[in-house]
Structure 1
Amino acid sequence: METTRNILTISEALYHLIVMMLTLGQGIHSMPVPTDVPMCTASETAQYSLTFTGKWTQAAFPKQYPVYRPPAQWSNLIGVTHSSDYHMWQRNEFASNGVREFAEKGEAWMLMKEVEEAGERIQSVYGILSAPAVVGGTGQMNTQFEVFARHSYLSFIVRIIPSPDWFVGVDTVDLCDGDHWKENVSLELFPYDAGTDSGFTFSSPNFETIPQDKITQITSSFPSHPANSFYYPRLKHLPPIAKVTLTKVKKTNQIISLPVEPTQSNQLPTGNEIEDKLINTPLDCEVSVWSPWGLCKGKCGDSGMQHRTRYILMHPANNGAACPLLEEERKCFPDNCL
């Protein structure tokens, strides 16, 4: 009897151990806790002011700069505060359907749905923030948000308008430094391709990328195609197309103000006018290939002349290389002369 009782006791212990392991396993699956990232131990929450500054000028980006239908501008900003186990988007990873819809069309409903589901599933998202669109390539938008130790990261996305599926943004910027919050963070922003549309130029028609590519940063030499609107082979690096500044706000008893609607005053660049004017990206002239040689014109028995032409694809700007000759001629002898 004693042996039987011991066997039952061991069986019961194993049963409870398995149940406990399964329960813990489910908990770990629903709320992953990364161990390879620094933990934030700040005891209080922090409020930050976010200022997005567009630096998309015709001087800095002269190639195919959009001036109408529509002119260069920025969409509204959509962002989240979150923990390290969540990513709104990641470089060299596939864009979600929500990021795709926002990068291509500026529609945020699906992206917000994904954020909401992530918050419910793994409790990794703390808050959603937004800022109004900038009606122009330069200008500013502002908003404020709150973070705390468990959700000390910020991610956001802003669509480049017009474009096939291009955007700027930040992925998982940590605002915490050990046991305290960073006072100021300033980041230069560069264009990204969502990998869902195959257009090369700002005004390219919608042409779905099949199969979908991963999110990649657009550079002065990538994609390596002369038609690419950001293709500047003479540059080692593109100038920043935008900038974001994050400033810790001193706590008061006042309610955080909501972002203001875009107006003429907050669309004008402030504090960056001199800096923007100093950026003058040289744009070399681009010409087409030569046409075939024309008919040989001349008297029978004598040498004649024939011509070929080419035309300008892109006019030079900002002291870029001048256009070469657009017409050539050479001596020839008339064929089929009677």
Structure 2
Amino acid sequence: MMSSEHLTCGWLERLLFLLVKLCLTFAVPFRPAPNGTDCTAKGPASYILVFTGHWSPQAFPKQYPLFRPPAQWSKLIAVSHNNHFRLWEEGTTASLGVQNFAELGVTVEVMKTAKEARKKRVVGAMYRTAGIPNGIGHSSTEMLLQPRNSLVSLMVKMIPSPDWFVGVNSLNLCEGNQWKQDVTVDLHPYDAGTDSGFTFSSPNFPTNPKENVTKITSQIPNHPANSFYYPRLKELPPLASVKFTRQSRSGDRQTLMSNHILPNSIIPRHFSATPLDCEVSLWSSWGLCLGPCSRGGVRHRTRYILLRPANAGTPCPELEEQAECLPHSCRKRQ
């Protein structure tokens, strides 16, 4: 015969089991927002995207590409999506599509990836603009964003460069139940981590294994040969910018702008010139001592200019130096 103590424990165990089962039955499971962006706007929004290049020899005088090819921008690729998609992301390894675009400007692979993601409803639409044949210029396109895909990512390759680009990663143009009216983002250069070149015109030298996508700054990479190495600057001036302007739903909507042409209402910003200090080589070895041995000879050494100064940068120092040498080391005249 079971004791009262055993009966009490059995009832407690059964009661606990029933309570757990009841909680599991009626509990509301956690589900993320269906669109992955928490945008609750009632309808879509139309935007004009304007990309502006600020890559000028005044703002970026070091090794500025003047020919073969001159500084220019590739076509722009943009994708509207939700939180379950990434076109590119700092601190992660570039996909094959991002690598092909950052190195060669080829969009086939990256657009293929976006199309596959569109079938899963994590990508809304894809957009492209023509390239810009100069470092300074504009391109534009119209975008239609849905609440379920209110994030925008884009990339533009720098030409020439090893694998450098500017871009936006997952910019949300919706806040709560409202679409944002105007958003402007300054763009800075990124290294895709797939080519090890230091300069704009570096030959192809694959990075193996790939490194993560990293932001290029005035001191990173910390090497004088780097085309963006400006140690006097705390940060680089914006290399480009992108502006999103929401269009009215009424009949007076603006006409889609042609590439490289801006209406008078949009004025490109101007940035102060970046000072570029002179860079010189190391001194050569001292030459032979020449002159009358009785009074001691004179010897010379030289150096040459690696990079001429620009925009009120530090001027070049003396390129030749002489010093006296001891009588016993001078060369006697014949």
Gaps of 5+ in 1: 1-31
1:206-237: CA deviations, max 9, x gaps?
Answer: 11111211001100010000001110000001
Q: Deviations over 1:231-286 (max 9, x none)?
A: 000000100010100011112579997774x56x5699x612xx42x411000000
DSSP 3-state at the match of 2:289: coil
Task: For residue 337 of structure 1, report the CA deviation from its aligned partner.
Answer: 6.0
Q: Equivalent pairs: percent with the same residue?
A: 48
Q: How far off its partner does 1:295 sit?
A: 1.3
Q: How does 1:186-205 map to 2 (within 5 A)?
A: 186-205=184-203
Kindly indicate whether the alpha-carbon contact (under 8 Å) linking 1:285 and 1:314 is maintained by their aligned counterparts in 2: yes
Matched residue, 2:321? 328
The match for 2:236 among 235, 238, 247 is: 238
Task: List per-residue Cα deviations over 1:16-64 (Å, max 9, x = no partner).
Answer: xxxxxxxxxxxxxxxx956997511111011110000111111111111
The alignment status of 1:100 with 2:99, answered yes or no, reads: yes
The CA distance in 2 between the partners of 1:67 and 1:144, in whole Å, is 32
Structure 2: state its 5+ residue gaps. 1-30
Distance 2:33 2:308 in 1: 53
1:68-121 per-residue CA deviation (whole Å, 9 max, x = no partner) reads 11111100101100011110000111110100000001011111111122223x
Q: Does the aligned pair in 2 maintain the 1:296–1:332 contact within 8 Å? A: yes
Greater mean alpha carbon deviation, residues 251-260 or residues 53-62: 251-260
Q: Is the 8 A contact 1:42 1:181 kept in 2?
A: yes
Query: 2:50, 2:141 within 8 Å by CA — same for their partners in 1?
Result: yes
Q: TM-score, normalised by structure 1?
A: 0.83
Contact 2:219 2:231 in 1 (8 A): yes
Larger Rg: 2
On the 8 A contact 2:298/2:323 being kept in 1, the answer is yes
TM-score of the superposed pair, with normalisation by structure 2? 0.84
Instruction: Work out the number of aligned pairs and report it.
Output: 301
Alignment partner, residue 182 of structure 2? 184
| 1:156-199 alpha-carbon deviations (Å, 9 max, x no partner) | 00001111100001000001111111111111100000011111
Instruction: Measure the CA separation in 1 of the matches of 2:96 and 2:250.
Output: 39
Aligned partner of 2:17 in structure 1 is none
Equivalent residues in 2 for 1:1-338, closer than 5 Å = 33=32, 39-120=38-119, 122-251=120-249, 260=258, 262=259, 265=261, 271-272=267-268, 275-276=269-270, 278-333=271-326, 335=329
1:34–1:84 Cα contact (<8 Å) kept? no
1:140–1:267 CA contact under 8 A, matched in 2: no
Counterpart code for 2:172: D
- Cα pair 1:40 1:178 within 8 Å, conserved: yes
Q: Which residue pairs with 2:7 in the alignment?
A: none
Distance (whole Å) between structure 1 residues aligned to residue 35 and residue 321 of structure 2 = 65
Using the alignment, how far apart are the partners of 1:315 and 1:329 within structure 2?
A: 23
CA distance in 2, matches of 1:177, 1:330: 71
SS at match of 1:306: strand
Q: 1:267 to 1:298 in 2, by over 3 A?
A: farther
Equivalent pair of 2:247/2:254 in contact (CA under 8 Å): no
The residue type equivalent to 1:64 in the other structure is Q
4+ runs deviating over 6 angstroms: 34-37, 253-259
Q: Equivalents in 2 of 1:215, 1:72: separation in Å? A: 22
* One-letter identity of the residue aligned with 2:300: H
| Residue type at the aligned position of 1:330 | A
User: Offset at 1:309?
Assistant: 0.5
CA distance in 1, matches of 2:293, 2:181: 85
SS of structure 1 residue aligned to 2:290: coil
Cα distance, 1:139–1:200 mapped onto 2, change above 3 Å:
same
Letter in 2 for 1:235: L
